[in-house]
Chain A
Amino acid sequence: MPSRLFQALLHLYPAQFREEYGRELQLVFTGRYKRTSSTAQRIALWLSAIAGLLIEAPKEHTQMIRQDLAYAVRMMRKGPLFSATVILTLALGIGANSAIFSLLNTVILRTLPVASPQDLYVIRQEASRPVPQRFTWRTFEHLRAAMPAGTIASMSRVARMRTGTAESDVASVQLVSGEYFPTLQVPMAHGRAITADDNLSPGAAPVAVISHSYWQDHFAGDPAILNRTLLLNNVKLNIVGIAAKGFQGVWLESPVQAWLPIAMQREVRYAQNYSAAGPGQDKPWMTQDRIWWLEIVVRAPAGTQHAALLNTAYQRQLAADAESARDPLQRRLVLESFSHGFSALRNTFSKPLFALMAMAGLVLLIACANTANLLFARAAARQREIAIRLSLGAARTRIVRQLLTEGLLLVTIAGALAVWFAQWAGGALVRLATSTNTSLSMTADVDTRVLAFTSAIALFTGIVFGLAPALRATRPDLTDALKTASKGGAAGPSQRTARGLVVVQVALSIVLLAAAGLLMQSLRNLLHTDLGFDRQHLLSVWLNRALTNYPNNQLPEIYRRLTERIETIPGVRSTSISVCGLANGCRSLSGPFEFEGYQRRPGEQTALLTNMVGQGYFSTVGTPLLSGRQFNEHDTQGSARVAIVNQAAARKYFANRQAVGQRLGMERIDTEIVGVVQDARVLNVKEAAIPMIYYPIFQLPVTAGAIEIRTGGDPVPQITAVRGILAELAPKIPVERITTMSAQIELNLSQERLVLWLTSAFGVLALGLAAFGLFGVLSYAVARRTSEFGIRMALGAAPGRVIGDVLREALVMAVIGIAAGILLAMGAAQLASGLLHGVDPHDWQTMLAAGLIVICGAALAGLFPALRAARVDPIVALRND
């Protein structure tokens, strides 16, 4: 029994050592065991035996690994071309995966850099019909009172605020409650956090906490930073703290540079992402009960009853509120995980990212198939060496282990290259994916997760694709190998496998090429969609509404003078103004509307997308007027209230009636529809038009957010003149940005472009690898058949016939691969059809084109071996035989 147990323990040793000395060790152990006379002695013996094993076995392993590695390095040096090919192939395959994974990691997987992010939740509201998902300050105060200290905080969205006069002087700012930093458990690197006292009354505490990186970048890490002044939207704020290094807020794509007390909202003119009912938006929002603008975050570790506490408090508040008592909506608060923070990119980019990850996976498979083929070929070439070693008594496991070490060494080098590649490619990809946020971008560091991912796939690749050739090369039918190997070319038992792998590569590259083709058409469709306005020769000037510093009653005159002057610039045809610019993220919904002759169903949302526009707006942006009239100079403050709706609104609310002449309104029906315009994708190229209403801007009057300028030709040369006029006539209207509409639309499509670009790169890479694989297999086949070709040539075969034979072989593999690939591609495209805009996932032309490209690639790959076959010198070939 002790002997058996000791024998089992011997498995800690490498097999070779065990085979050599196992029996001896066991004999020694049993000998000593027999001489023991007491339990104490036996225990001592066992302890010393086990201790010895635990010390010596790892030493033996290390020694063996060192030997294997030394041998592997020697083999690598002996075949530098082979090694370089394998390493490069795998590095590309693994690198593609690591790069996409680091993007995926940044956008989807990474949690907020705070303590226990999994305990964080954001509060959402469920009700019998859609309700605002943000809250008033008063609701927050109410909920806060019900919760333990430091477990609930509120915050605004991230706003861009001016830090100076230039267009580029901006900072990302967030308004937060005093509980923000304690709830997120973010410590201060210096100074103090925003406190509850800073939020006691509107405007009371002009203080700011800045991020560590903002301190470093904009204040050069000034050690005397505290109590220095930060200017935001013309408000002087006292810097009281620096947040912990690495913390940049909770919005993935908008790293925050400064946090201010919520009470500073009116002073810094924060006015975005809110829902409001009734007037009072110009008063401090903290004091308003009808402005919903705050997100609420709670820290609720498992086992706490925070959700119940919140709901009890909320119901109490609702019961006390006359408005909600009148309109009971069965409101209920729910907690939504906030461990990853907010991200718009995550919402829109998840699907494309997973698709890209899958495609990168295909590239890796192709690279692996190539590597396996190369390793098979090399194992075949070394069959004689291996056979001799086996016949001399080397253990099979020993040789497999050594071949595996060689494979793993190659993969490890490839993996290291891949990490390096991922490091710069990942960062570049993140920048490309977020190019809509012009000056700010998040970082895609290669963190432990990316490293672990890369190591895992590299290890997997090394083991799976190193093991198969190793096992095959050490198969026990030695004599065959010894016999055939003597002829200089091993019999190709792996030829069938190799061909099979090439077919797989061809099929997979078809999938990638077809995907690239479909995405290219999809992007082209998006670029040529009828937007409902004319993107060509249109210049957009975006104005900072918050900082526009003129009394409202002067605005109409200022805008009139501006547009008139801009129209005098040579090349400018017409100019108009609006509150929301086109395709720039400005989105304003208002409602509920009542329409004359339209019966609202209970609970129906009759909100309309809203914009206020100047005279000649529609002719300037190129949106056709379908009936009625445009706004004109008579639509002023004193005149009857008028509006223009789009087709979608006219169709929905005035189905069978002529919309022009009908009336609508919000609190009362007081506005007449004077025109209907064509639907336009005003928010985003990818979003179809929704019911929309336009008001004349001078009827209200409000500050404009955009000037649209129609030019006769390229609008870029006019930018300088426009800028000059703005500075001269309206120095108190800060310009945010001037851009051509076509450039803005390109920017809207940057994600699609990135996906297309990557897919195409993968497609080309896959094609190259597959062609290389085909080339390798054919070259090998030609080399093996040298004597056959020699005899045929000697017997008078035309070189053309020989070339044709080899090429046919290439094309047969290609055609089988293409057929399988097209089926796969159609299935894959069906799965990913959500990413395609107006493209049939089974588009036969795309499939055909992909097939043709691969045929060309295969022919090219087959040409060189074919030519070599045709150039075989019969005499040399026969002599060699």
Chain B
Amino acid sequence: MPLPEDFLPLHKDTFHILVSLACQDRHGYSIMLDVADRTNGDLKLSPSSLYASIKRLLTQGLIEELSERPDPEHDDERRRYYRLTTLGRNVAVAEARRLEKLLADARMTGLLPSRS
């Protein structure tokens, strides 16, 4: 079983995808919309790079494809849904911690103003 730290640091696209799957299972298009929303449109994943990342995450076991649809009412049955695995969640958390520590370091050295 690989350790979450083995995957760090994550590519920013990958991190965003994991974050977007943290609160709910989503299909590809939904991931893309969510990422665009959260970054105010700064990060627009192209369909190709999105699915290249998804494929890689599936192979690495950080996400899995759902066999049943999560939300039958709003389900678009043509779509494939993805969910974060436990490993995926741990990796995302580890990456968030790493970023948090970086941020703390930046504040401590005075690069960023300390939180009041």
Point out residues on A near B: beta carbons under 8 Å.
Answer: 17, 20-21, 23-29, 31-32, 48-49, 51-53, 55-57, 59-60
Further 11 A-B residue pairs, CB within 8 A, beyond A31-B33, A48-B44, A59-B52: A17-B55, A24-B51, A25-B51, A27-B29, A27-B79, A28-B47, A32-B32, A48-B46, A52-B49, A55-B48, A55-B49
Q: How far is B80's CA from A51's CA once the two chains are assembled, in angstroms?
A: 24
CB distance from B114 to the nearest CB of A (A): 39
Counting chain B CB atoms within 10 Å of each CB, the highest count among A17, A26, A48 belongs to A48
Check A25/B47 contact, CB under 8 A, given A31-B29, A32-B32: yes
Question: B50 touching A28 by the CB < 8 A rule?
Answer: yes
In the complex formed, the residue of B with least CB distance to A48 is B46
CA distance A49 to B44 in the complex (A): 10
What is the number of contacts between chain A and chain B, taking CB atoms within 8 Å?
54
Contacts A59-B52, A60-B52; is A27 near B78 (CB within 8 Å)?
Answer: yes
Partner of B48, one of A23, A27, A57: A57
Residues of A within 8 A of B47 (CB): 25-26, 28-29, 32, 49, 52
Is there contact, CB below 8 Å, between A23 and B78? yes
Would you mind naming 6 contact pairs between A and B with Cβ atoms under 8 Å apart? Answer: A24-B51, A27-B79, A28-B29, A49-B46, A52-B47, A52-B49
The residue on A at minimum CB distance from B36 is: A32
A27→B49 contact, CB < 8 A: no
Is there contact, CB below 8 Å, between B49 and A56?
yes
Q: Does B28 contact A (CB under 8 A)?
A: yes
Give Cα A28 to B27, complex, Å.
9
- State whether A24 touches B28 (Cβ < 8 A): yes
Which one of B33, B46, B79 contacts A24 once the chains associate, using CB atoms below 8 Å?
A: B79
Task: Check A51–B46 contact: CB distance below 8 A.
Answer: yes
CB distance from A28 to the nearest CB of B (A): 4
Closest to A23 in B: B78
Output the least CB separation between A72 and chain B (Å).
20
**Contact A21 B55, beta carbon cutoff 8 Å:** yes
CA distance A29 to B33 in the complex (A): 12
Contact yes or no, B46 A52, CB < 8 A = yes
Chain B residue contacts of A32, Cβ below 8 A: 29, 32, 47
Given that A17-B55, A56-B52, A59-B52 are contacting pairs, would A27 and B28 also be in contact in the complex, using a CB cutoff of 8 Å? yes
Whether B51 lies near A21 (C-beta < 8 A) is: yes
Q: Which residues of A contact B52 (CB under 8 A)?
A: 56, 59-60
Bound form: Cα–Cα A52–B48 in Å: 5
Report which residue of A23, A24, A28, A49 has the largest number of chain B beta carbons within 10 angstroms of its beta carbon.
A28
Chain A interface mostly helix, strand, loop or mixed? helix
Q: How far is the CA of A618 from the CA of B55 in the complex (A)?
A: 92
CA–CA, A21 and B54, complex, Å: 10
Complex alpha-carbon distance, A835 and B44, angstroms? 73
**Within 8 Å CB of B32, what residues of A?**
28, 31-32
With most chain A CB atoms within 10 A of its CB, the pick from B28, B48, B54, B80 is B48
Residue of A32, A51, A55 contacting most chain B CB atoms (<10 Å): A32
Q: Mark B53-78, 1 if CB is under 8 A from A, else 0.
A: 01100000000000000000000001
A48 to B36, CA, bound (A): 14
Cα distance, A160 to B78, chains bound together (Å): 85
Known contacts A17-B55, A56-B49; is A28 also within 8 Å of B44 by CB? no
4 residue pairs, one from A and one from B, having the closest CB atoms: A52-B46, A52-B48, A56-B48, A28-B47
Closest to B80 in A: A24
Residues of chain B within 8 A (CB-CB) of A48 are 44, 46
A27 partner residues in chain B, CB cutoff 8 A: 28-29, 78-79
With the chains together, A53 CA to B27 CA distance in Å? 20
Give the complex CA separation of A29 and B49 in angstroms: 12
Chain B residues near A23 (CB-CB < 8 A) = 78
User: Closest A-chain residue to B44, C-beta based?
Assistant: A48
Q: Within the assembled complex, what's the spacing in Å between the Cα atoms of A723 and B80?
A: 96
Q: Which B residue sits closest to A22, measured CB to CB?
A: B51
A57 to B29, CA, bound (A): 19
Which residues on B sit within 8 Å (CB–CB) of A24?
A: 27-28, 51, 79-80
CA distance A24 to B55 in the complex (A): 12
Q: Which residues of A contact B79 (CB under 8 A)?
A: 24, 27
A26 to chain B: closest residue by CB: B47
Q: Which residue of B lies closest to A20 (CB)?
A: B55
By a CB distance below 8 angstroms, the chain A residues around B49 are: 52, 55-56
Question: What residues on B are CB-neighbors of A52 within 8 Å?
Answer: 46-49
Min Cβ gap B32→A in Å is: 6
Residues of A within 8 A of B51 (CB): 21, 24-25, 28, 56
Q: Please indicate the chain A residues that have their CB under 8 angstroms from the CB of B80 in the complex.
A: 24
Question: Which residues of B lie under 8 Å from residue A53 when comparing CB positions?
Answer: 46, 48
Collect the chain B residues with CB atoms within 8 Å of residue A57's CB. 48
B75-116: contact bitstring with A at CB < 8 Å (1 yes, 0 no)? 000111000000000000000000000000000000000000
User: Which residues of chain B in 1-39 are interfacial with respect to chain A, using CB atoms and an 8 Å cutoff?
Assistant: 27-29, 32-33
**B32, B46, B49, B80 — most chain A CB neighbours (10 Å):** B46
Q: Whole-angstrom distance from the CB of A27 to the nearest CB of chain B? A: 6
- Shortest distance from the beta carbon of A15 to any chain B beta carbon, whole Å: 15
Task: Tell me the bound Cα distance from A266 to B27 in angstroms.
Answer: 94
Q: How far is the CB of A60 from chain B (nearest CB, A)?
A: 7
Quick one: closest A residue to B50, CB to CB? Answer: A28
Chain A nearest CB, measured from B51 CB (Å)? 5
A56 contact set on B, CB distance < 8 A? 48-49, 51-52
CB atoms of B55 and A28 under 8 A apart: no
A-chain residues with CB within 8 Å of residue B78 when the two chains form the complex: 23, 27
Q: With a 10 A CB-CB cut-off, give which of A25, A49, A51, A55 has the most chain B CB atoms.
A: A25
B50 / chain A contacts, CB cutoff of 8 Å: 28
Please, which residues of chain A bring their CB within 8 A of the CB of B55?
Answer: 17, 20-21
User: In the complex, how many angstroms separate the beta carbon of B11 from the nearest chain A beta carbon?
Assistant: 13
A5 vs chain B, min Cβ distance (A): 13
Question: Which chain B residue has the least Cβ–Cβ distance from A51?
Answer: B46
| Neighbouring B residues of A25 by C-beta, 8 Å | 28, 47-48, 51
Q: Which residue of B lies closest to A21 (CB)?
A: B51
A28 contacts across to B, CB distance below 8 A: 28-29, 32, 47, 50-51
B56's closest neighbor in chain A, by CB? A63
**How many Å lie between the Cα of A49 and that of B52 in the bound state?**
13
Q: Which of A23, A27, A51 is packed against the most chain B CB atoms within 10 Å?
A: A27
A21, B47: Cα distance in complex, Å? 10
Interface centre among B44, B47, B51, B78 (most CB of A within 10 A): B47
Q: How far is the CA of A321 from the CA of B29 in the complex (A)?
A: 93
A132→B85 CA distance, assembly (Å) = 92
Residues on A with beta carbons closer than 8 Å to the beta carbon of B46: 48-49, 51-53
Q: Which residues of B contact A49 (CB under 8 A)?
A: 46-48
Residues in chain A near residue B27, CB distance under 8 A? 24
* A17 to B55 Cα, complex, angstroms: 9
A53 vs B47: C-alpha distance in the bound complex, in angstroms? 8
CB-nearest residue of chain A to B48: A52
User: Inside 8 A of A20's CB, which chain B residues have their CB?
Assistant: 55
In the complex the two chains form, what is the Cα distance from A28 to B33 in whole Å? 10
CA distance in complex: A48, B50 (Å): 12
